[in-house]
């Protein structure tokens, strides 16, 4: 009967597995096409730009004297023969439906300072995905040009946990939605680009969502933001040279998988030492920095003043607390750091050189604002 069971399982699961694999392959292929377009326009490579488009593709663009201005992909690519201005872009979201897909990207130019949202329609031809149509809309940025210029090309990496449960228990946990949105909102409005990385990549477990909170409501229905949370990168997909700051986000799950992850440690220390960037954390996210070491072997927190969620605010007799692998406050002190925190439910931030930390989720906005102030000077 065992062989019959295996046959039945294979029969019913194989189509599902095949469909999932094809969907993943299509998503990766579409991402690569959009990346070719972004890289080609950023690096003035007409050949790479044209490779992303079908030969008959048309672009519908804005023109002050032409309400319906269509240009060919070939003509559009020819505009990028010389790299005359700083231009960066990144994928916001994409959705694949069978042999068609739609995608969105944000483009920022430095000279002059402008931002655009590009929207793409793609189609699969045999086994190859190509853009068949593109349009763009400029984002009004007159009031924020100075800040956008300061932030142009600067990227921040949010580090969060993939853990769904506390330790080996069945106690559900996740990343604090408040800590995500209040920090993200500051960076986006300041013109910075934010990426997300987790130990396992993919969907980020979320906790403490309250749609009565205006900021939560804004972002829970923001398709680009939620796409990013559903498609976080794995550590091996991250190019640390591209970032000037890492930000460890809290929530109960921040106590697991992050602090001991060697790849995440290497990313953070490259940003801090080689890129001369910022290491930041908030609330339980500070658990992620306790094991970080400088190239000389010393702990990053040694001799530094650090904040995070203190023992005094924990329910030390609760089941979740028994699952914690360590106490943030205790370990910071053991590593040679000074640990300070503010009042319960009040924002509190510690700035010690290029290390910026906060006590609780109420500190998320202030931590991000302190980071922006520091990043603007880099």
Average pLDDT over residues 95-118: 90
pLDDT tops 70 at residue 309: yes
Please tell me the distance from the alpha carbon of residue 15 to that of residue 11, in angstroms, as a whole number.
Answer: 8
Tell me what pLDDT residue 66 has: 87
pLDDT digits (tens, 9 = 90+) for 137-188: 988 655 566 777 777 778 999 999 999 999 999 999 999 999 999 999 999 9
Alpha-carbon separation of residue 232 from 33, 130, 261 (angstroms): 19, 24, 16
What would the two tokens of residue 249 be?
């986000």
pLDDT at position 331 over 60: yes
Residue 85, pLDDT > 90, answer no
- Angle value at C-alpha 198, between 193 and 199, nearest 5 degrees: 150
Q: What distance in Å separates the CA atoms of residue 99 and residue 91, rounded to the nearest whole number?
A: 20
Q: Is pLDDT above 60 for 342?
A: yes
Cβ(190)–Cβ(372) under 8 Å? yes
Non-local CB neighbours of 148 within 8 Å, separated by 6+ positions: 108, 113, 115, 141, 191
Average pLDDT over residues 101-128: 91
The pLDDT of residue 113: 79
Residue 2 has pLDDT above 60, yes or no: no
pLDDT digits (tens, 9 = 90+) for 196-240: 999 999 999 999 999 999 999 999 999 999 999 999 999 999 999
- Name the pLDDT band for 13 (thresholds 50, 70, 90): low
Which helix (H) or strand (E) segment holds residue 220: the answer is helix 214-220
| Model pLDDT, residue 18 | 54
For the beta sheet containing 69-72, the strands, ordered from the edge strand earlier in sequence to the opposite edge, are 69-72, 53-61, 128-139, 114-125, 100-109, 87-97
Separate counts of helices (H) and strands (E) for the chain: 11, 16
For residue 111, the model assigns a pLDDT of 73
Cα Rg, the chain, nearest whole Å: 23
pLDDT of 325: 98
Query: What are the pLDDT digits (tens) for 32-69?
Result: 999 999 999 999 999 999 999 999 999 999 888 888 99
CA–CA gap between residue 99 and residue 126 (Å, rounded): 9
Mean pLDDT of 3-16: 51
Please write the tens of the pLDDT for every residue from 256-276.
Answer: 999 999 999 999 999 999 999
Strand-pair category, 245-248 with 155-159? parallel
Beta strand 53-61 with 69-72 is: antiparallel
At residue 140, the pLDDT reads: 67
Task: Give yes or no for residue 335 having a pLDDT over 90.
Answer: yes
Longest dimension (CA), the chain: 75
- Write down the mean pLDDT value for the chain: 92
Backbone dihedral angles phi then psi of residue 183, each to the nearest 5 degrees: -75, -45
How many whole angstroms separate alpha carbon 270 and alpha carbon 266? 6
Mean pLDDT of 361-368: 98
Share of the chain above pLDDT 90, in %: 80
CA dist 109 → 46, 85, 145, 152, 163 (Å): 18, 7, 11, 8, 38
Q: How many other CB atoms are found less than 10 A from the CB of residue 115? A: 18
Q: What is the pLDDT of residue 84?
A: 54
């Amino acid at each position: 009967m065992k062989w019959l069971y295996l046959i039945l399982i294979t029969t019913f699961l194989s189509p599902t597995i095949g469909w999932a694999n094809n969907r993943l392959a299509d998503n990766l292929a579409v991402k690569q096409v959009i990346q070719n377009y972004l890289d080609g326009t950023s690096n003035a490579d007409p050949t790479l730009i044209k490779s992303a488009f079908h030969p008959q593709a048309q672009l519908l663009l804005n023109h002050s004297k032409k309400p319906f201005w269509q240009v060919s992909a070939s003509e559009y690519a020819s505009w990028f023969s010389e790299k005359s201005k700083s231009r960066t872009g990144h994928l916001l979201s994409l959705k694949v439906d069978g042999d068609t897909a739609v995608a969105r990207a944000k483009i920022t130019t430095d000279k002059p300072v402008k931002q655009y949202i590009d929207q793409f329609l793609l189609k699969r031809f045999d086994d190859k995905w190509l853009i068949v149509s593109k349009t763009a809309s400029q984002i009004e940025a007159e009031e924020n040009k100075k800040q956008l210029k300061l932030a142009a090309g600067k990227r921040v990496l949010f580090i969060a946990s993939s853990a769904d449960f506390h330790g080996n228990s069945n106690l559900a946990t996740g990343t604090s939605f408040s800590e995500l949105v209040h920090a993200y909102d500051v960076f986006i409005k300041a013109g910075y680009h934010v990426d997300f990385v987790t130990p396992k990549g993919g969907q980020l477990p979320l906790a403490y969502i309250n749609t009565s909170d205006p900021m939560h409501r804004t972002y829970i229905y923001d398709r680009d933001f939620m796409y990013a949370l559903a498609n976080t990168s794995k550590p091996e997909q991250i190019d640390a040279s591209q970032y000037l700051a890492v930000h460890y986000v809290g929530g109960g799950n921040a106590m697991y998988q992050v602090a001991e992850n060697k790849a995440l440690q290497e990313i953070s220390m490259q940003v801090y030492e080689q890129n001369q960037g910022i290491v930041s954390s908030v609330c339980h996210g500070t658990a992620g920095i306790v094991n970080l070491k400088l190239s000389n072997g010393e702990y990053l927190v040694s001799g530094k003043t650090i904040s995070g969620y203190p023992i005094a605010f924990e329910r030390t007799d609760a089941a979740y607390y028994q699952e914690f692998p360590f106490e943030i406050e205790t370990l910071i002190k053991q590593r040679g750091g000074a640990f300070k925190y503010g009042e319960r439910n009040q924002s509190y931030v510690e700035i010690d050189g290029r290390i910026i930390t906060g006590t609780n989720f109420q500190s998320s906005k202030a931590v991000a604002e302190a980071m922006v102030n520091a990043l603007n000077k880099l």
